[in-house]
Structure 1
Amino acid sequence: MEAISEARRHIDNAKGFLSNNARKEDGLYQDKKYVKIAGHTAYTGILLALDELLGEKKKKTRKSVEWYQKELSGLDKKITSDFATAYQILHLDMGYEGTRSAQIAKLGIDNAEKIINWVENRLTPHSK
């Protein structure tokens, strides 16, 4: 499960950008540049894991967030909600806006880890 390992590496890198470079003071990150990098990195980690589970789209085009939501909604409504939250926080709030809130960033990273763990569980054969 190389994709899961790679997804986790992305999450670890995102955490590193936040803890080593974004300079947290009083619950706020001081350097938006590294918040943005961390958000994009963590979101990419989620997509790596989901692509392993969901497979490739028929066309060789970039998949939209709507495509992921549609595919996930047929599998698990809770994880679909977690994905929507992770997309909002990691991709939009952190990745584009560079939100400074450490609490929001933690929620996004936690959701990313939850999604990756869920994917790993779905990919791992379980004996009865």
Structure 2
Amino acid sequence: MEAIIEARRHIDNAKGFLSNNANKKDGLYKDKKYVKIAGHTAYTGILLALDELLGEKRKKTKKSVEWYQNELSGIDKKVTSDFATAYQVLHLDMGYEGSPSADLAKFGVDKAEKIISWVENRLSKPER
């Protein structure tokens, strides 16, 4: 469960970048640099959790977003959809574009927390 703790730490750091550094005013973040950092940090948190669940079963190599989607689609369609949304919002919209919307950032971080909790629940269930 060390990976889950680390994943949650990434989410807390992302929230900190947004609340302490991104300079929110009227629902928009003014400093794109910190929006980008927060997006990448939160997305990395998701990958840490997913690697704990999926990575042990596979050779340790760099994995693409398609690899994660394919692996998840065989387990849970809803979390596959959540992952696709988190990828779009956190990695692309925030991480690369620096989207200033505070609502979008909250939505993305909420998806990240949901995925990490899902992984934690899967890891805590005994295998049958």
TM bucket (normalised to shorter chain) is: over 0.9
What do residues 61-98 of structure 1 show as CA deviations (whole Å, max 9, x unaligned)? 31000000000000000000000000000000000000
Q: What residue is the counterpart of 2:80 in the other structure?
A: 80
SS of residue in 2 equivalent to 1:120: helix
State the Cα distance separating 1:55 from its structure 2 match. Answer: 1.7
TM-score by length of 1: 0.95
CA distance, structure 2, for counterparts of residue 7 and residue 77 of structure 1: 22
CA distance, structure 1, for counterparts of residue 125 and residue 97 of structure 2: 39
- Identity, % of aligned positions: 83
Q: Which amino acid aligns with 2:54?
A: L
Q: What residue is the counterpart of 1:29 in the other structure?
A: 29
TM-score by length of 2: 0.95
SS of residue in 1 equivalent to 2:96: coil
Q: Which amino acid aligns with 1:33?
A: K
Q: What residue is the counterpart of 2:52 in the other structure?
A: 52
Q: What stretches of structure 2 of length at least 5 have no aligned partner?
A: none
RMSD of aligned Cα (Å): 1.0
Which of structure 1's runs of 4+ aligned residues deviate more than 6 A?
none
Q: Counting helix residues as a fraction of each chain, which structure ranks higher?
A: 2
Q: What stretches of structure 1 of length at least 5 have no aligned partner?
A: none
Q: What residue is the counterpart of 2:11 in the other structure?
A: 11
1:38-117 equivalence runs, <5 A: 38-56=38-56, 57-58=58-59, 60-117=60-117
Q: Which amino acid aligns with 1:7?
A: A
- How many corresponding residue pairs? 125
Q: What residue is the counterpart of 1:20 in the other structure?
A: 20
CA distance, structure 2, for counterparts of residue 61 and residue 42 of structure 1: 21
